Structure 1
Amino acid sequence: MNKRSFIKIIAGMALASAALTPAFAQDLTKVRVGYIADYFGSSMVAIANDQGLWAKHGLDPQLSVFTNGPIQVQALGAGSLDFAYIGPGALWLPASGKAKVIAINALGYTDRVIGQPGIESIEDLRGKRVAVPEGTSGDMLLRLALDKAGMSIEDVQVVSMDPSTIVTAFSSGQVDGAGIWYPFVDVIRQRVKDLKELSSNEDFFPEVAFPSSFIVSNEKANDEDTVRKMNAVIKEALDYRRGNLDQSVQITAAFLGVPVEPLAAEAPQARLPSSAELEELSADGTVNGWLDTLANLYVDFGKITDPLPASEFYLSNLYSN
């Protein structure tokens, strides 16, 4: 084979390879994406990394880890983040016009109200010190559980803490109870064997669903092409997670650099609709109903006074079409 023929073959192979590549590097849209370092807060980005979904759908992500949803919403508003993950406890922020929801992640059952050994019921928390990460799903579950028991947030001594501090405070007996979620519950249980699980999200389903979601900044929401690309990544990652639980836990643990066991305990604590189901539920208004219910709960809790209807903060048309 002469040199010219060899060069032609190599050139042809390069062109064929390029034709198979989902997107050329220079065509990728850069996006800044936030996540939370637990299973449901990071499995989507972990799977997208592992399965090559970002480039497949035309995106080049810069990933940043956060401890909760409200901090991510602040970053969205400050212009330092484009997309983020929030649990149901932070939904009051999109409902207040601070961001837009683009996709549902899961219907979670990971939240718990827990008590020290000897505290057998929500009523036993009256007058006691209860730790919560303010504005999160743990905060919301505590309020729901208190209301169900005929109590209010004023009947306990709320101590605002971040999740890792709650682990230390509960384990050392500095607080009597906590509104917190897996995998932190499992970590605490390893230190306080006889802790009591006093309430769970599942106690309130189906009257109240607890959807975690992906959100976009108000500015980036106007870029429909990029939102659709992000949704394409989310949909494929969530379907992979739904069909490959064990692998998804392994991928997420490797991504976070943590042991598998806590994530394996957290992973089953949710309902996981497929992307096709979520498209249908978005189109028929069911998802809007979930979000409106949560937003109205925050009115009852005094967190917000005049929430937007979900039709104005959930971009359902960009998900279902």
Structure 2
Amino acid sequence: MRLFRPSRRAASLSVVLAATLLATAACSGDDAAGGSGDDVVEVNFGYIPDFNGTSLLAVAQDQGLWEKHGVEVEATSFTNGPLQIQALGTGDLDFGYIGPGAFWLPASGQAKIVAMNTLGQADRVVAQPGIDSIEDLEGKKVAIPEGTSGDMILTLALQDAGMTKDDVEIVPMEPAAIVAALSSGKVDGAGFWYPALATVKKQVPDLVELAENGDFEDTVAFPTAFVAGNDVVADDEEKVDRVLAALRDAIAYRADHMDETIELTAEFNDLPVADVRADAENVQVLDLEEIDGYTQDGTFDTWLSGMQDYFVQSGQLPEAVEPSEFYTGDLFLGAGE
């Protein structure tokens, strides 16, 4: 049998044709994933440099999830959630991250919660050595970052002791200032959180912990979440869908690769891995199945309603509204489809 052998010219043309087809297929693949250079949405994304606030961004960056979904992210660090809500309102941010203490802001119509994230277990009411109870804080200086989970846990602890903020001297401070004030003894106590408290304990090893998240889990949850500007949600469906699709992929990766996620978060924030690991120990990570399930079965709605009750009682929120007015769970469930 005679074998057919193409001429050199025919062989060369075949190679060129094959290369062209491969290049075309590769470009088509990028388009399907939303990652072509001509089809990228730019996003300004705020975060807080701790495990809750950064881990998904670190995963998305390392795993190429932004590129996969055609998103180019400019990430900006913030010290707290309320500042990010302000930036969302002015259009300086498209998306951001908030802890539970700032949930009253989207509930009051200032932003939308677009993705639930984790359950925080890092908040504490702490005091200088010699102060052994919440009641002992009466008349003393207590620092809080206002509108944060530190503010929230202090209010809950005071209520549980039959007290209010009027019974202590509240000193509003930024987180970095609280670390310095506790370490130097300039305040008697604080509503604050880990990992920053680990820094304080290096200077005040006998720092007393008077209350923690778990003390109130029967009545109030401490979820963290990602938020978006009202205008972004209303006017840019494609941007929201792509970002949420990337976050869904990152949530799935984080749940299955905690050690790698801790290392990526440490690298992203330029922090020691040991510090981030200690921070992650105060976090209950929710996997994608749990977040989807809690959205569908109303668990998140129950938590959000309970949190609103707290915010109404504390005077931060005039009245409660339906969670569906500020949590866009349907958008999260349908992202990327």
- TM-score relative to the length of structure 2: 0.91
Deviation of 1:285 after TM superposition, in Å, equals: 1.5
Q: Is the 8 A contact 1:224 1:318 kept in 2?
A: no
Q: C-alpha separation between the residues in 1 aligned to 2:97 and 2:183?
A: 28
**Partner residue, 2:121:** 109
Matched, 1:18 2:31: no
CA deviation vs aligned residue, 1:45-92 (integer Å, no higher than 9, x gap):
111101111111221111111111000000000011111100000011
Deviation of 1:7 after TM superposition, in Å, equals: 3.6
Q: Is the 8 A contact 1:280 1:320 kept in 2?
A: no
Q: Which of 117, 133, 142 in structure 2 is aligned with 1:130?
A: 142
Matched, 1:316 2:306: no
**Partner residue, 1:76:** 88
Larger radius of gyration: 2
Q: Is the 8 A contact 1:31 1:62 kept in 2?
A: yes
- What is the identity, as a one-letter code, of the residue corresponding to 1:277? E
User: 5+ residue gaps in structure 2?
Assistant: 1-7
Q: Is the 8 A contact 1:145 1:199 kept in 2?
A: yes
Q: Which of 104, 109, 116 in structure 2 is aligned with 1:97?
A: 109
**Partner residue, 1:189:** 201
What SS does the corresponding residue of 1:178 show, helix, strand or coil? strand
Q: Is the 8 A contact 2:47 2:53 kept in 1?
A: yes
**Partner residue, 1:162:** 174
Q: Is the 8 A contact 1:167 1:188 kept in 2?
A: yes
Could you tell me the percent identity over the aligned residues?
A: 45
Q: C-alpha separation between the residues in 1 aligned to 2:202 and 2:19?
A: 58
Stretch moving more, 36-45 or 23-32: 23-32
What SS does the corresponding residue of 2:230 show, helix, strand or coil? coil
- What is the identity, as a one-letter code, of the residue corresponding to 1:248? T
- What is the identity, as a one-letter code, of the residue corresponding to 2:206? D
What SS does the corresponding residue of 2:186 show, helix, strand or coil? coil
Stretch moving more, 15-24 or 44-53: 15-24
What SS does the corresponding residue of 1:134 show, helix, strand or coil? coil
Stretch moving more, 186-195 or 14-23: 14-23
Q: Is the 8 A contact 2:119 2:222 kept in 1?
A: yes
**Partner residue, 1:139:** 151
Deviation of 1:4 after TM superposition, in Å, equals: 4.6
CA deviation vs aligned residue, 1:199-234 (integer Å, no higher than 9, x gap):
111111132111110111000112333222222111
Deviation of 1:5 after TM superposition, in Å, equals: 4.7
**Partner residue, 1:290:** 303
- What is the identity, as a one-letter code, of the residue corresponding to 1:205? E
- What is the identity, as a one-letter code, of the residue corresponding to 1:61? V
Q: C-alpha separation between the residues in 2 aligned to 1:180 and 1:239?
A: 29
Matched, 1:240 2:253: yes
CA deviation vs aligned residue, 1:260-299 (integer Å, no higher than 9, x gap):
1221111021222211221121122111111111122111
Q: Which of 231, 236, 240 in structure 2 is aligned with 1:219?
A: 231
**Partner residue, 1:307:** 320
**Partner residue, 1:198:** 210
**Partner residue, 1:249:** 262
Q: C-alpha separation between the residues in 2 aligned to 1:10 and 1:96?
A: 57
Q: Is the 8 A contact 2:52 2:283 kept in 1?
A: no
Q: Is the 8 A contact 2:125 2:154 kept in 1?
A: yes
Q: C-alpha separation between the residues in 1 aligned to 2:287 and 2:274?
A: 25
- What is the identity, as a one-letter code, of the residue corresponding to 2:17? K
Q: Is the 8 A contact 1:282 1:319 kept in 2?
A: no
**Partner residue, 1:177:** 189
- What is the identity, as a one-letter code, of the residue corresponding to 1:18? C
**Partner residue, 2:274:** 261
What SS does the corresponding residue of 1:27 show, helix, strand or coil? coil
What SS does the corresponding residue of 2:176 show, helix, strand or coil? helix
Q: Is the 8 A contact 1:104 1:278 kept in 2?
A: yes
Q: Which of 276, 297, 307 in structure 1 is aligned with 2:289?
A: 276
Q: C-alpha separation between the residues in 2 aligned to 1:290 and 1:224?
A: 26
Q: C-alpha separation between the residues in 1 aligned to 2:296 and 2:272?
A: 39
- TM-score relative to the length of structure 1: 0.96
How many pairs align? 321
Q: Is the 8 A contact 1:107 1:270 kept in 2?
A: yes
